[in-house]
Structure 1
Amino acid sequence: MKTFNTFGPVNPEEHYVVSRAEELVDFIKRVKLGRYIVIFAPRQTGKTTFFQWALDALAADTAETYFPIELNFEVYEDYAAPEFYTSLYQSIYEEIKWVFEKRGRVSSETLSQFLENTKLTDHVAMLRFFQQFANFLGDEKLVLIIDEFDGIPQDALRGFLRSLRSIYVQRSMRKCLYSVGIVGVKNVTQLNLDRSISPFNIQDEFTLPNFTLDQVHELLAQYTDEVGQAFAPEVIESIHRQTAGQPFLVNRFAQMLTEEMAISKSETIQMVHFAEAHTQLLEETNVNINHLITNIRRNPRFEIILMRIASYESGTRFNPHDEIISELATYGVITKGNDGMCEILNPIYQQHIMQAFKPLVNGLEHEYFPEDTHQGLVDYLTSAGQIKMDSLLDNFRDFIARAGFRILLVPDTPKEFVGQHLLYAYLDQFVQLIQGHIYLEGQTGRGKIDLAIFHNGKKYIVETKIWEGPRSYQSGKKQLAAYLKLEGTSEGYYVVFGHRAEPEPRVETEAIDGLTIRSYVIPVVQEVPSQQT
């Protein structure tokens, strides 16, 4: 039986796969046009697998003959340039021999001697090698694919790219390297080049997008066809919505639901199973999430920009020339939304980001609930085990009032976002105590943090944002009502934190479009008493 793969390249013989048919056709078309193609995308998005499929497609092409050389620069980062070129040639030589063996061919004596005697010492020697090697190929077109290009030594980078550019712009030399594919995380301008010079301005940028909803359906349908176990439609939609189609996360969800959880194969995978898998994904450590957390902690300024993206409706414009935004996009943390604004890539990442920036101990945990709260928090549960969200959020409002300026003493938390941090920490602690599930829903930017709590078969939606004026406050209610309709939920909760000098606390319950919305405006002090004027 096949499995869902979360480690290394995907093998269609062993793993369920998304075919990427349209993307492959587009890529092969560019190769046939002789383009020098670059894919720069975050790790674990399927780049390596995609290029391997592309090479297989080229090998199977009967109309034209291509001679592919596949390289990987991952191990070269600490090499000096001369050592890099020496080792690079050994890899090229091995690849050439492999292609001949795979095709059942024997190289001529002249070619064998040429390959044995060649030594690469710098980028010029590399250029000459490709020129001479191409003469042995006849009508075959040489295609060079380089994975993990970020690993190229800094003192070799400029010359290497100049040689590729020289081949591309001189028609007489194009035969020696007909097409090139470069794969990496950082784009060329981020590899510490002197940006006043463009040694590789002939690149054709290729985008490998995350899975669409249809592609997630395609992936999971392969499992259903083989095993007979179906996924409820809302589970498939939730997997796509929570991951935004990020390949690793989609496969990890499927892996947990089909291999690790004790769900009978005769039982349809339902939302209750999804909620359990979601909680596990938020609590586990895996390579993808470890990369995310490592990257967002590289710069203290990342927290401020990420929370602004999540908390303010006015949003943050996606400016690729801003180093902070560019770096976060490179790491796959944020992306450009359809409206040109920054968005956190998916709700899973946003929730991990909130957890990462949430202090382990904020000093107020024992004050969340009044001292006379019954053990087991039965004060906030009905006799049927449903959550009394009104009472739970009323208590949070009272907790903020009780804590006063002490909320500003929460460590490592910008005061601008302390209210949202505390609400998430408060609800997260409550949900853990009642053995429920909490996760982010909806958009991953433009001022809204939508929290979904799943307990005893019922879903509760809480939207939180920062006060940006009466118009924004009122429009937020209508947006929440529209979202509740999509979710098939009759009631929702709207928590807005006010940072004004004289904020007006509010609690109101309204019927909007036939739905019940309970709204809170909770004042959050921004200065300790000694600093207030």
Structure 2
Amino acid sequence: MRFFNTEGPIRPEDHYSLPPLSRWDLEQILSLIEQKKYFLLHAPRQTGKTSCLLALMEHLNRYGHYRAVYANLEGAQAWREQLADAMATIVTDIATSAQVWLGDEERPGHAREVLASTAPGSALSVFLSQWCQRSAQPLVLLLDEVDALIGDTLVSLLRQLRAGYPQRPTAFPQTVVLCGVRDLRDYRIHASSERAVITGGSAFNIKAKSLRLGDFSAEETRTLLLEHTQETGQLFTPEALEQVWTLTLGQPWLVNALAYRACFELPAGRDRTQPITRELIDQAKEQMIIERVTHLDQLAHKLQEPRVRRVIEPMLAGMLIEDASEDERDYLVDLGLLKRDGAGGLIVANPIYREVLPRALASVTQDSLPRITPIWLKADGRLDPEQLLDAFLAFWRQHGEPLLKSAPYHEIAPHLVLMAFLHRVINGGGTLEREYAIGSGRMDLCLRYGAVTLGIELKVWRDGRPDPLAEGLKQLDAYLAGLGLDGGWLVIFDRRTGQPPIEARTASEAMISPGGREVVLVRA
């Protein structure tokens, strides 16, 4: 029985899948190859790049006009800037791939001969040149994980390909496709010991195109999910199908991971007589985030990088991105963490990533929280918002100051502490949703616990700025209207210098918003 794939390339006999080449403009690609062009494919990790390259190799070899070979160069990354060992690994891996995919038994021995007699800086070009001269068909080389290489290794690879380019197709590959996360124009080639840029994409200025593999469309997402129904007879409710799209916006790994967990891991989902519901999809999403599955953990780990922080921190705070360079912004787009909306602005790529980012940052603070008695629960287990407010005020007065120091992002430290507290409140019995946007000056939280839904808006009063109360009330009105609520909290964190201690300035009062809603104003 087939299943949804979350590890490695697609195998159609094992996995539900879309035809990999349907995600590209195959006619354009074949035209580029026919024109002897060198080009790039780039896309975020776990979006199907390798599956597409393998499918392209199979397509080209099936018709016999070309000899196409796929090779993964990631093994050379371990050698970093030890050029001789790195280039030997690259040449050997390409030769081994030719043996595996083409049955070319001569190629490994040929590679050993070249490596034994040729300097590292020209071994690849000599190997490819001799191979192409001995081949009856033009060679198409599909090189994956190229941007895993650094420094002299990457420079040497690109320059050897550029040097041999005029000899194609009789004495060099007709086409080389370089594949990785980043577009080559954005490559920044660094020494391992120094962060100064050695060179950029100019080391490979022969490339004709940069193609980006996109996410699934809404229709492709639905088609993939219904592969499971065709295979097993188990239905997805319309609400479940819609929720998978809403949460993932077609990010391929997330689509497969949500569906796999809902259909193959959750006990209710394994009963093929019962449909997959929206509730199961939401449960699968929550488990994936709590467990920090590898894909999400890799993204969360990126938050530690200074170039990522310079973009993400102001975004979470609702501030303008002022200190991040264009390359740093493009880096997050290439990672798939952010995307550009229709107006060209940056937004988080999908709702799951939008939830993962602040939750990952709040985890350090959450682990630092003291034991808190859950006085916010009534005897029947329902949430009491008034008691929750009292508990938060007491918690903030006692623990706010030291916990602010534990938060990894200074600009949103209060937000992270409050979110950590609320996660302790829901403790698996509810959900906490977040909304934030560049330049909005706020973060919105929606706490759902049983029948209770609480809308919370967070604002920060910074040095040199007016009291954000009036703006906050208007923004909270709009947020609560979208949730269909008649009241909520407006929390204003006073981060101006020279203020009294937290325990002295923390207080709350009841207010009426411009829209006539009952608002609890918290000054913290």
* Unaligned ranges ≥5, structure 1: 525-533
Deviations 1:342-375 (A, max 9, x none): 3233333333332332234587655686xxx37x
- Give the alignment partner of residue 177 of structure 1, picking from 173, 177, 187: 173
For 1:199, the equivalent position in structure 2 comes to 203
Query: Does the Cα contact within 8 Å between 1:48 and 1:147 map onto a contact in 2?
Result: yes
Distance change in 2, residues 1:215/1:495 (3 Å): farther
Distance 1:431 1:66 in 2: 59
Matched, 1:417 2:412: yes
- The 1-side partners of 2:86 and 2:327 are apart by 32
Aligned counterparts of 2:454 and 2:52: Cα–Cα separation in 1: 38
Deviations along 1:58-105, one digit per CA (max 9) or x if unpaired, are 223x4x712112212111124332333334333333333445438xxx
The CA deviation string for residues 422-466 of structure 1, in whole angstroms up to 9 with x for no partner, is 33223212211xx4231435666554645444544x583635342
Give the whole-Å Cα distance in 2 for the aligned partners of 1:508 and 1:437: 27
| Structure 1 partner of 2:125 | 127
Q: Shift of residue 207 of structure 1?
A: 0.9
- Residue of structure 2 in register with 1:149 after alignment: 146
CA contact (8 A) 2:262 2:281 kept: yes
How many angstroms does 1:227 deviate by? 1.6
Residue identity over aligned pairs, in percent, reads 21
1:529 match: none
What's the CA shift string for 1:308-363, capped at 9, x where partnerless?
21231x5437966354x354445443333333333233333333332332234587
CA distance in 1, matches of 2:135, 2:367: 67
- Residues 45-84 of structure 1: pairs in structure 2 closer than 5 A: 45-60=47-62, 62=63, 65-79=65-79, 80-84=82-86
Tell me the alpha carbon deviations over residues 159-186 of structure 1, each in whole angstroms, 9 at most, x when there is no partner: 3212222344x3x534522111112235
2:472 corresponds to: 473
1:309 aligns with 2:322: no
Match of 1:527 in 2: none
Letter in 1 for 2:352: I
Distance 1:24-1:337 versus aligned 2 partners, 3 A rule: same
Give the superposition deviation at 1:403.
4.7
The verdict on how the C-alpha distance between 1:12 and 1:319 changes in structure 2, with shifts beyond 3 A counting, is: farther
SS in structure 1 of the partner of residue 202 of structure 2: coil
CA distance in 2, matches of 1:494, 1:32: 63
Cα distance in structure 1, aligned partners of 2:402 and 2:108: 74
1:283-298 maps to which residues of 2 (within 5 A)? Answer: 283-298=290-305
Equivalent position of 1:347 in the other structure: 351
**Aligned 8 A contact 1:243 1:249 in 2:** yes
Distance 1:187 1:318, change over 3 A: farther
Distance in 2 (CA, whole Å) between partners of 1:78 and 1:362 is: 34
Does 1:23 find its partner at 2:24?
A: yes
Give, in whole Å, the separation in 2 of the partners of 1:365 and 1:507.
29
User: Which one is further off, 48-57 or 301-310?
Assistant: 301-310
- Whether contact under 8 Å (1:216, 1:240) holds in the other structure is yes
Q: Which amino acid aligns with 1:40?
A: H
The C-alpha deviation readout for 1:101-158, integer Å capped at 9, x for no partner, is 38xxx98xxx9997785445334343344334333334x3311111121344632322
Q: Which residue number in structure 2 is paired with residue 11 of structure 1?
A: 11
SS in 2 for 1:91: helix
**Superposed CA RMSD:** 3.8
Distance 1:478 1:520 in 2: 12
Match of 2:158 in 1: 161
Q: Does 1:321 align with 2:323?
A: no
Residue 440 in structure 1 maps to residue 433 in structure 2: yes
Q: CA deviation at 1:230?
A: 2.0
In the aligned structure 2, how far is the partner of 1:462 from the partner of 1:306? 23
TM-score (normalizing by structure 1)? 0.78
Change in Cα spacing, 1:317 to 1:23, as seen in structure 2 (3 Å) is: farther
1:10 counterpart SS class: coil
* 8 A contact 2:320–2:439 mirrored in 1: yes
Q: Do 1:234 and 1:271's aligned partners in 2 also have CA atoms closer than 8 Å?
A: yes
Q: How many aligned positions are there?
A: 490
More displaced, 157-166 or 82-91?
Answer: 82-91
